[in-house]
Structure 1
Amino acid sequence: MALHWTALIAIVAWLAGVLPTWALALHAFAWAGISIAWGLRGGPSPALPDPWRKLAWLGQAALLALYVVGAVTALMGLVAAGSILMATIAVGVLHGMFNIWRASVLGDGAFRRMLPKALW
């Protein structure tokens, strides 16, 4: 879960030139590897209707895939890496907004499942 919460920090640090490319790629590959081995963490709300529940899983996988593609293009030194990682941030903002909506409108206790225990 820590890899999920530090992805934004890693991307912004790389875009600012503070984080080396290899560290960004290591972060993305570690998160993807753990997700492949043990599955995506969290999960859709049980309060979501069935078609939306399936789309929530697809959205999580797509966001992680976009991050990995951005890291690979950064490793290759392609100019598109910055744009792809900015798009990852934009999609991540939508992800966060969805989770805020989910916790407030659906009232499913999402933040208790997502946030580290020290924050709640």
Structure 2
Amino acid sequence: MPTPDEIVRSMCESWNAPTPDPDQISKYFAEDAVYHNIPLEPAVGRAAISATVAGFLAPLDGIHFEIRHQVSSGNIVMNERTDTFHVSGRATPLRVMGVFEVNDGLITAWRDYFDLAQGNQAMGF
């Protein structure tokens, strides 16, 4: 079974596909997982996570996750990333701090912390 570190790295890499698939991304999560972008409301459950991911991806031409640093201890994984949003020919980086809980080979919680004003700019709002 992959380690929690490997699971989180694989999930982050799945966002870098030419056409990221929300259903493929959500397969890394437990059925009752919670995905919370801290300035926003959490998505609870795999179906809600897939819908949230689809909503994030809809206005984008692409996205790229670059893990700058990642540490893990037991089932907790933390990473510092730069998520670069591609919208209308413009690439906008967003610095993100992610905290993940992994149990039985699936992500059970994902919390991302970022500046909401920079996030809105990255999304073209």
TM value normalised by structure 2: 0.31
The structure carrying a bigger strand percent of its residues is 2
Name the structure, 1 or 2, with higher relative contact order (CA <8 Å, separation 6+).
Answer: 2
Q: Could you say which structure has the higher helix fraction?
A: 1
Give the TM-score, by structure 1 length: 0.32
